[in-house]
Each structure stands twice: as structure tokens, then as C-alpha cells.
Amino acid sequence: MIPLTGQTLTSCDYHTAGEPFRILDVGPMEGTTVLDRRSWAQENLDDLRQFLINEPRGHADMYGGFVVPPNDTEGDLGVVFFHKDGFSTACGHGTIALVTWAIETGVLPAGQTHVVVDVPSGRLHTTVTYKKGRVAAVCFTNVPSFVSATDLTVTTSQGPLTAHIAFGGAFYASVDTTELTLSPEAAHLDALVSLGREIKTQLNAHPAVNHPQDQRLSGLYGTIFFDTLSQDPLQQRNVTIFADGQIDRSPCGSGTSSRLALLHHQRSLNTGDTFINHGVAGGQFTGRIINEEESGVLTTVEGSAHHYATTTFTLDPHDSLNLGFQLR
């Protein structure tokens, strides 16, 4: 899989609200569903993941996805997500980028307005908005999002904090930064990364992060540090620290769904209300709850993605750094 002398591997690189997404098709993977293919990739493609993510080809906050077939003929695309530390179950910003890429590159017909994407956590229906013939925005309807624990006290170097856990395709702990001397801004990223690691260490084995249907979706994926900017419509700003200290530049798509579930649970947001979520890089996602089900709330998240590079990779067999390195 790793391109050696005389071989190349090409990616299309997009960003969604500032968060990168490296898109590649590296051929067939075993499994009948995208979740199965993720399991196969974990066992067979980890070297390739490192090659694409690590410096000098990537960086500690790089993200990407392998394009795979959908689960069945009702789907249009499938994707296995990867990042610095492994293969994730959900990625909202990546879903937005993938749909934009598929239309802009002709994988799907120009003008198609409904695209079905299978991701490890389930099937996402997306709606594409066009402006003057180009993809202006993509809105996905997420898998059911739900709250699994509230008012957990976490002991940290910043003192005791209150965390709430909700699922939006992955499990996230939400922490209101009014409890901190830190705010979700670039100036405080180093401290928030350290704090996010502390919280994950304490909560990753909590029963609230066990998925009720599939253990492969279990585990605390990240911590969302947020503050509230305004009401009507509700606007918040966040920094999401996921995996092992990785910073989401966007407002975090699956994290936005988890926030929507929690806001609804706290009676801070009604079904149909608009929620504008701001990321640390200045981009924003628009979220809504569109329905309430027994398994959770159905949410939509909308954002825009942009192509910024087409990259051709190769590995010099004499390169002593080989798969690359991470400095943090």
C-alpha cells in the first residue's frame, strides 16, 4: 500500500471550517459494512495511516478518510476515517468534505442534491446546496444522538470540573469553560489539550461511554470545551480535543450533534431551533434537532468545505524516517 520508488499515491485535500481532510481511494477492504472495513483497516492499514498523517507528510492534527463502497445499493459512498492516533467512528467535517469532493471531482453527478454516505457509526443522509453551479454547503442528518451521563465530577489540575457525556456518532464530554480560567480560544490551546487528556483518562472507562448496540463505537472520543456567545439563535464557541490531544479546528460535526442532544436534554434548545456553533479557526456549523426518537434526537449539521491541495506521495527507500514522526 505504501508507495515506494516508481510508485505514487495521490490524495485530494479539503478543509471544512479550517479542519483538514485528506481523501484517498486505496482499493478494496474486507467486510460487508463500513464498520467492518474500519476493523479491517485497523488491522491492515495502520502503516499507511501513519505514512499519511505523520510529519513530514502530515502533522499532529491531520485528518483523512479512505473512500470505500457503501453498505448496500441504497448508499452512494462509504468512508473509513483516520487521524493521528487511529481510525474514528464518526467525522462530521469529513462527511461534508467527502460529499463536496465527490461532486466536484465527478464521482457523483453535478447537481445531485441528495447523497447517502455510510460511515462507521451508521448511514448519513446529506443535502447539497449549490450556488452558481458550485457546492456551497452540505448538510448531513446524523445517526441518533443521545445523552448518556450528566453532572459527572472530574478531578483535574484545574480543579474539579463538571462534565456531561453525549453521543453524536462518537462519545464526547462537554465542559463549560465558565468553570475555568481558560476560554475556547487559540491562546489557550496548550492548556486545553492537557486538560482534555486528563478528562479522557478519567472518563474513558466510564460506563456512560459504552455504546448500547456495538462495542466498536464505545470509548470517550473527545472533550468539548465551550462557552456561550449569544441567545436567539443560540450561538456557542468550542474547542474540541479528541483522540490523544488532537485539536479540531472546525466546530466538530459529530461533536455538534452531541451538543445538540445535551442542549435539548437541558431544555436549552427546542426541536427546530437553530444552533450556531463556532470553531477555534473562525468557521461555523449550523445545527438543528429535526426529530425526537426513542433512540435519541435526530440532528442536522451544515457546513462548507474547500479544496486546497492535490498531493502526490512517495517513499524514498533510503529515507531513514520511513513512516514519519510525531513531535507531539
Indicate the residue type of 174.
Answer: S
Q: What separation, in Å, do the N-terminal and C-terminal C-alpha atoms of the chain show?
A: 26
DSSP state of 325: B
Q: Is the peptide bond before 56 cis (omega within 30 degrees of 0)?
A: yes
Q: In angstroms, rounded to a whole number, what is the distance separating the alpha carbons of residues 168 and 217? A: 11
**Per-residue CA distances from 251 to 73, 107, 241, 304 (Å):** 32, 27, 11, 12
Q: Is the peptide bond before 233 cis (omega within 30 degrees of 0)?
A: yes
**Per-residue CA distances from 217 to 2, 89, 314 (Å):** 28, 6, 33
Range 43-60 burial, b when 16+ CB lie within 10 A, else e: eebeebbbbbbbeebbeb
Q: How many CA atoms lie within 13 A of 182 on its CB side?
A: 24
**Per-residue CA distances from 47 to 42, 53, 85, 301 (Å):** 10, 10, 12, 32
Q: In angstroms, rounded to a whole number, what is the distance separating the alpha carbons of residues 328 and 314? A: 24
The SS3 call for residue 296 is: strand
Catalytic hit among 12, 91, 139, 252? 91
The C-alpha cell that represents 7 in the structure block: 510508485
Q: Does the annotation mark 91 as catalytic? A: yes
Residues annotated catalytic, as ranges? 91
